Structure 1
Amino acid sequence: MPNSASAGRLLLLEDDRLFGETLVDFLEGEGYEVAHFLAARPAIEEIYENDGYDLYLLDVNVPDLNGFELLKQLRNSGDKTPAIYITSARDKEALAEGFHSGADDYMKKPIDLDELLLRIEAQLRRTKKPDKVAVGEYTFDMEKLVLYKGDEPEKLPRKLAELLGLLLRNRGDVVSTEEILHEIYGDENPGTGVLRVYINKLKQLFGKESIRNIRGVGYCFEA
């Protein structure tokens, strides 16, 4: 069923005109406003002039400027708008570069349009997070990254609190291991062993069934 007209404003960077028009037709049919650009320079100029976009859909190999470099420029300028890469690049190096440049998600062509819609909706939900989230007998302050049991704050290491915040922002959705490590550690990747330790600590707090491990993919907070 199509979304309402206020579903969101998307900027699409795709130099394949036919494929881009297909995406525009589909997304507009779902209630989104879509601005389609065939080259990077006009797209980034539009973003700097009009900052009202809710999400970016970016190809990588486009005229004027590499899609990775475009997003790096935006992130360096303080732009935190969610971004999804849609690209034919399939190697792990390209995947890593995509996340390191500041991407929130990554889809390999050919894409399934219904899956794209789900990923867009998931990203937009993340930007509409509440100030505080209740989890059983606990309350987590999403802004201050402080966990309370009743009125008493629990002592959590900073990285553990950041992990909890990330999982709660995506409650019910799977967050990839790569995204978690990049979001929390940036380029200082400590490996998955440290992440497993933190996940186990959260399970000790909220119950072993609170977080589901999707082997080879990531984690989903379900409590």
Structure 2
Amino acid sequence: MNVLLVEDDLDLCDALSRVLLSRGFQIVCCSTGLEGLALARRRSFDALILDLSLPGIDGLDILQRLRDGDASVPVLIVTARGSVSDKVQGLEAGADDYLSKPFDVEELVARVKALIRRHHGDEDLRCGSLWLDAKTGIFYSGMRPLELSPREASLLKALLERQGKAVSKEALRESVFGPDAVESSDAVEVLVHRLRKRLTNATVELVTLRGLGYLLIDQTSMSQESGA
């Protein structure tokens, strides 16, 4: 589960990141409104944790711009503005939930999980015999669960969400490691190599497109089309 955290309190950002990472989330952090808006527009996240008092542009402005652009990512506002009017304003701007500071980190984790569950519902991602259980976050080949590392799972989810389309190494690198990570595209190649071994028995193929990136395809559909 990929979460974008937009928070200008760096100590709080670090503390929340460590807790969320320990619970299996992949976290991308930023501390300014403009950077948060750019990341939310450029990448696919399962949830957005958004402070309101941010340098550059504030959280409400970010939220309104995202909703005006038809972005449906679930948003949890986390802010010191705790009055009823503040909450109403945030929810009417398009937030899905609102949590006032100070808060218990366990409550934040529970709220983020609930937002993601409600957003995805029972809609599992599928490609051939490969599928992702939206409720548990577990990948399966048929009925057999796949044992994947968190980074392998992040890479496979990014490919599964864009199945049938080329995904660049840079986009995959950002999805797995974050935009500021020091890992090179070689790290993506290593993960792809591992994934291919994990997917040996699944009816999917992970294709390398030179100069473009990678493509996840359903072998069953390809066989049916070639035989038609």
Q: TM-score range by the shorter chain?
A: 0.5 to 0.7
Alpha-carbon offset, residue 117 of structure 1: 1.0
> Does structure 1 residue 82 correspond to structure 2 residue 83?
no
Between the two structures, name the one with larger relative contact order (CA 8 Å, sep ≥ 6).
2
Match of 1:98 in 2: 90
The two structures have a TM-score, normalised by structure 1, of 0.54
Where does 1:7-18 land on structure 2 (aligned, <5 Å)? 8-18=1-11
Alpha-carbon offset, residue 33 of structure 1: 0.6
CA offsets, 1:7-64, max 9 Å, x none?
Answer: x0000010000011000011001110111110010111112222x1000000000101
Match of 2:127 in 1: none
Percent pairwise identity: 27
Match of 1:128 in 2: 120
Q: Distance in 2 between matches of 1:32 and 1:130?
A: 20
Q: Structure 1: where are the runs of 5+ without partners? A: 1-7, 132-223
Alpha-carbon offset, residue 128 of structure 1: 2.2
Where does 1:128-167 land on structure 2 (aligned, <5 Å)? 128-130=120-122
> Does structure 1 residue 26 correspond to structure 2 residue 19?
yes
> Does structure 1 residue 44 correspond to structure 2 residue 22?
no
Q: Distance in 1 between matches of 2:34 and 2:82?
A: 25
CA offsets, 1:98-143, max 9 Å, x none?
Answer: 1011000000001101111111111111122247xxxxxxxxxxxx
1:103 corresponds to which letter in structure 2?
A
> Does structure 1 residue 69 correspond to structure 2 residue 61?
yes
Q: Distance in 1 between matches of 2:119 and 2:5?
A: 19
> Does structure 1 residue 60 correspond to structure 2 residue 52?
yes
Residue 80 of structure 1 aligns to a residue in which SS?
coil
Residue 127 of structure 1 aligns to a residue in which SS?
helix
Q: Structure 2: where are the runs of 5+ without partners? A: 124-228
Q: 1:118 aligns with which of 110, 117, 125?
A: 110
Where does 1:208-219 land on structure 2 (aligned, <5 Å)? none
Compute the RMSD of aligned alpha carbons: 1.0
Report runs of 4+ in structure 1 exceeding 6 Å deviation. Answer: none
Q: Distance in 2 between matches of 1:122 and 1:79?
A: 19
Alpha-carbon offset, residue 90 of structure 1: 1.5
